[in-house]
Amino acid sequence: MRMVTLSVNQILSRELEQLEAQLKIRSQTKVEMINMLSDHIISSGGKRLRPIILMLSAYASNSHAQDTIINASVIVEFIHAATLLHDDVVDMSKIRHSQDTANIIWGNKGAVLVGDFLYSRAFEIIVEINNSLIYETLAKTTNTIAQGEVMQLMNIGNIDLEENLYMDIIYRKTAILFEASARIGSILSNDHSSNSLASFGRHFGKAYQFRNDYLDYFGSTDSTGKNAVEDLHEGKATLPIIHSLQEADKNDEDFLREAYKDTEKADGESIIKILKKYKSDLYIESKITEETELAISSLDPLSSSKYKDQLISLALFCKERVS
């Protein structure tokens, strides 16, 4: 798995160096607090998956608009960073990537305002690119993300969240930015593969979120850099819980419901045992595999290239990732 990410980093080494430089330059202002907080979230160990998918999609579509590809990659990473800042405030998260969240260090108000700054900086760069299709894509994407955030907030503590509604929420919150990243890559090439690449991004994003759900209950905290069963403590019903409730007997169902009533006292180990009892770990793994296969098959219309190969490898890597 490490060889896959190494290969991507080698193929895109120049672009990723330019991306990191531009992220620092574009996030700097005369306001010191913005500089410190922006640097904290941008330098916190993120995978840069959205920019990487945008770059690979652009090159797989034969785009040669180098500067625009970098600028567009900065945009999607800024939007992602802004959503993380806002998410951590809403979720009252304390740890991300094994370090204190920005809201713990600088407070909720600072985290929200700097998240707003990164959103607005992203749209400044969109204006520079001056492409109506990209503007339309990102306007719709950011609006949909905001809707997803509110939908999730409305369902905090709702252990009876239906699977279909959960799927809608994760598409809006997570998958749509991967979808937009892949679509923008193809838009920059002016070819006709945008729907194929957007489909790749959408299914990739769903698989990515399912893997997050899996790791929250069945992953190693040393690898994830987050607290175990964090979703439970935040009152979120994710796919492992939703599935187990559909399968559980009365005693186990009552136990899970009681855990959601008092998340502070919830016994994580006992909950994980119940999830495994009803094979919820295997169920979510099957959903990850399904979405990964759909992502890869979406690329069939594209011509063979090392960039297409790397998109496939990236999907397979994220299917098995441990963090």
Q: What is the pLDDT of residues 78-91, one digit of tens each?
A: 999 999 999 899 88
The domain locations on the chain are: 2-320
Task: In whole angstroms, give the CA distance from residue 161 to residue 205.
Answer: 20
Between these two residues, 190 and 255, which has the higher pLDDT value?
255
High-pLDDT (> 90) share of the chain, %: 76
The CATH number of domain 2-320 is 3.40.50.450? no
Helix (H, G, I), strand (E, B) or coil at 100: strand
Q: Is the pLDDT of residue 1 over 50?
A: no
Maximum average pLDDT range among 42-56, 228-242, 277-291: 277-291
Distance from C-alpha of 59 to C-alpha of 53, rounded to nearest angstrom: 10
Tokens standing for 247? 């399968």
What per-residue confidence (pLDDT) applies to 6?
58
In angstroms, the CA 96 to CA 248 distance is 32
Higher pLDDT, 100 or 205: 205
Q: What is the pLDDT of residues 150-180, one digit of tens each?
A: 999 999 999 999 999 999 999 999 999 999 9
Position 94 pLDDT exceeds 90: no
Give the pLDDT mean for 18-31.
96
Distance set, CA 203 to CA 48, 97, 235 (Å): 18, 24, 26
